[in-house]
C-alpha cells in the first residue's frame, strides 16, 4: 500500500475528523456484538475511575509539522501541517514547570519537534531549569537540511535523551511504514548521533529506539526484540543504543485509516481487547504524564490530544491555568482507543509497562 504524501487533513479525509474517529471506535465489534467499553473493563478490575498516581512528566507537542508522512502516524503530521506552538505558549509551559518541581521530565514531541522555529530556545530554557529533556526525533530530520546537521551536538550540549523510531532493522519494513529511503537516512543519522557519543556506554548520552509494528499486529516482547535489534544494528551498521521501546499502534488517525482500508480493523480491535492486561492497565502513562497541545490545551495523553479529548471538565484546560495539585485529582478521560495501551505487555511512550 503506497504512503500518501499528504496528511489526512489536507486530503479532507473523513478520518481527519476526531468526531468521526470516535464514532468508528465506539461501534467496533464482531458478529457477536460491540467490544466492551474500556471504562467498564477497568471497572471489572477496580481501576475505574482511572486517576493519576502523581504526575512527573510534561509531554509537550510543539507542532504537527513534519518532514515525513508515516503510514501509522497518530498525529496526522506532515509537511502540510502548519499548527506550531508559539514562543508565548512555550513560555507558559516554562511558567507551569517553574511552579511544579514534581515535573522532572519534559518530553518533546510533534511532528518533528526540531522544525518548530523556537525548538532550540525551548530546549535551552528547559535545560537551564535542570529538567530532563526527551526529544522524540524521527532521525531523518537531522539529514533533511544543513541547518539540522548539528542537532546531535545540540542534543549532547543539553544532555537530551533522544528517542527515535526505527520500526525494524531492515529497509523494507521501515520504508513501508515511514516512506522510501527512510531506513538508509535513519542509519546515517544514528551514525551521526554515535559520533558525538550517543548510546555509548559511559557517555551518559541516552539513545532509545522505538519499535512499532509495521502492520496490523501486536509488538513482540521488548526484551527479546531489543536483543535482536542490538545484534543486527551492531553487526550490520556498527550502531549502539540503550533501550528499545516496543509501542503498540493505537487505532486512531492514519493507523485507524490503514486498519479500515486494509480490512483489519475488527480483528485488530479484537486482538487489543482479548489481550487486555490489568497489570498494564494499572501502569498506563496517563497516570504520570500530562500532555500539552501546540495551542496550550491540556490532555491526558498525546492520543487524546489528537482526538480532541481535553482533560476532565472542571480541571484546568489550558497551560496558562496549570495547577498540578488540581490536575492530579482529575479523572482520566477514556475511550476505546485506550485498549492499545493495555494490551499484552502494555504500551507507553517509554515502551512496555509490565
CB of 232 to other proteins, least distance (A): 10
Smallest CA-to-CA distance from 75 within 66, 87, 67 is with 66
Q: How far apart are CA 333 and CA 300, in angstroms?
A: 7
CB 108 within 8 A of CB 74: no
Q: How far apart are CA 336 and CA 307, in angstroms?
A: 11
Residue with cell 482533560: 311
CB 29 within 8 A of CB 102: no
- In angstroms, the Cα distances linking 194 to 119, 152, 207, 217 are 22, 9, 9, 31
344 Cα distance to chain centroid = 18
If one asks whether residue 34 binds other proteins (CB under 8 A), the answer comes out as no
If one asks whether residue 218 binds other proteins (CB under 8 A), the answer comes out as yes
Q: Which CB, 52 or 219, lies closer to other proteins?
A: 219
Choose the binding region for other proteins from 120-128, 187-195, 223-231, 309-317 (rule: CB under 8 A).
223-231
User: What is the pattern of x (binds other proteins, CB under 8 A) and - over residues 152-181?
Assistant: ----------------x-x-xx--------
Choose the binding region for other proteins from 67-75, 91-99, 118-126, 210-218 (rule: CB under 8 A).
210-218
If one asks whether residue 221 binds other proteins (CB under 8 A), the answer comes out as yes
CB of 198 to other proteins, least distance (A): 24
The residue within the footprint of other proteins, chosen from 220, 243, 312, 321 (CB under 8 A), is: 220
CB 82 within 8 A of CB 69: no
3-state SS assignment for residue 249 = coil
If one asks whether residue 340 binds other proteins (CB under 8 A), the answer comes out as no
The residue within the footprint of other proteins, chosen from 52, 111, 113, 219 (CB under 8 A), is: 219
The residue within the footprint of other proteins, chosen from 22, 129, 225, 240 (CB under 8 A), is: 225
Binding positions for other proteins, 104-133, rule CB under 8 A:
none
Q: How far apart are CA 313 and CA 85, in angstroms?
A: 23
Residue with cell 497551560: 319
Q: Which CB, 4 or 270, lies closer to other proteins?
A: 270
Q: Which CB, 32 or 201, lies closer to other proteins?
A: 32
Smallest CA-to-CA distance from 169 within 218, 222, 237 is with 237
User: What is the pattern of x (binds other proteins, CB under 8 A) and - over residues 228-257?
Assistant: x-----------------------------
Binding interface with other proteins (CB under 8 A)? 168, 170, 172-173, 211, 213, 215, 217-221, 224-225, 228
Amino acid at each position: 500500500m503506497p504512503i500518501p504524501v499528504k496528511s489526512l487533513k489536507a486530503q479532507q479525509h473523513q478520518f481527519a475528523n476526531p468526531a468521526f474517529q470516535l464514532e468508528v471506535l465506539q461501534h467496533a465489534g464482531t458478529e457477536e456484538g460491540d467490544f466492551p467499553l474500556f471504562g467498564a473493563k477497568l471497572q471489572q478490575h477496580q481501576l475505574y475511575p482511572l486517576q493519576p498516581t502523581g504526575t512527573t512528566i510534561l509531554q509537550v507537542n510543539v507542532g504537527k509539522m513534519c518532514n515525513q508522512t508515516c503510514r501509522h502516524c497518530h498525529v496526522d503530521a506532515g509537511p502540510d501541517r502548519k499548527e506550531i506552538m508559539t514562543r508565548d505558549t512555550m513560555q507558559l509551559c516554562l511558567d507551569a514547570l517553574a511552579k511544579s518541581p514534581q515535573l522532572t521530565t519534559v518530553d518533546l514531541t510533534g511532528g518533528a519537534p526540531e522544525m518548530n522555529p523556537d525548538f532550540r530556545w525551548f530546549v535551552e530554557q528547559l535545560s537551564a531549569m535542570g529538567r530532563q529533556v526527551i526529544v522524540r526525533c524521527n532521525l531523518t530530520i537531522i539529514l533533511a537540511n544543513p541547518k539540522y546537521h548539528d542537532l546531535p551536538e545540540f542534543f549532547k550540549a543539553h544532555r537530551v535523551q533522544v528517542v527515535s523510531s526505527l520500526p525494524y532493522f531492515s529497509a523494507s519494513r521501515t520504508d513501508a511504514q515511514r516512506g522510501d529511503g527512510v531506513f538508509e537516512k535513519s542509519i546515517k543519522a544514528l551514525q551521526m548521533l554515535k559520533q558525538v557519543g550517543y548510546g555509548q556506554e559511559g557517555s551518559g548520552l541516552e539513545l532509545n529506539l522505538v519499535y512499532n509494528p509495521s502492520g496490523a499486529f501486536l509488538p513482540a516482547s521488548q526484551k527479546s526484540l531489543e536483543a535482536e535489534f542490538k545484534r543486527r544494528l551492531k553487526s550490520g551498521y556498527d550502531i549502539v543504543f540503550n533501550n528499545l521501546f516496543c509501542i503498540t499502534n493505537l487505532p486512531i488517525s492514519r493507523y485507524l485509516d490503514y486498519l479500515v482500508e486494509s480490512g483489519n480493523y475488527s480483528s485488530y480491535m479484537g486482538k487489543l481487547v482479548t489481550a487486555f492486561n490489568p497489570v498494564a492497565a494499572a501502569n498506563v502513562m496517563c497516570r504520570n504524564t500530562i500532555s500539552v497541545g501546540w495551542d496550550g490545551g491540556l490532555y491526558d495523553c498525546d492520543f487524546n490530544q489528537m482526538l480532541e479529548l481535553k482533560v476532565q471538565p472542571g480541571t484546568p484546560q489550558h497551560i496558562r491555568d496549570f495547577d498540578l495539585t488540581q490536575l492530579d485529582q482529575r479523572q482520566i478521560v477514556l475511550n476505546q482507543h485506550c485498549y492499545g495501551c493495555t494490551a499484552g505487555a502494555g504500551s507507553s511512550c517509554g515502551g512496555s509497562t509490565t
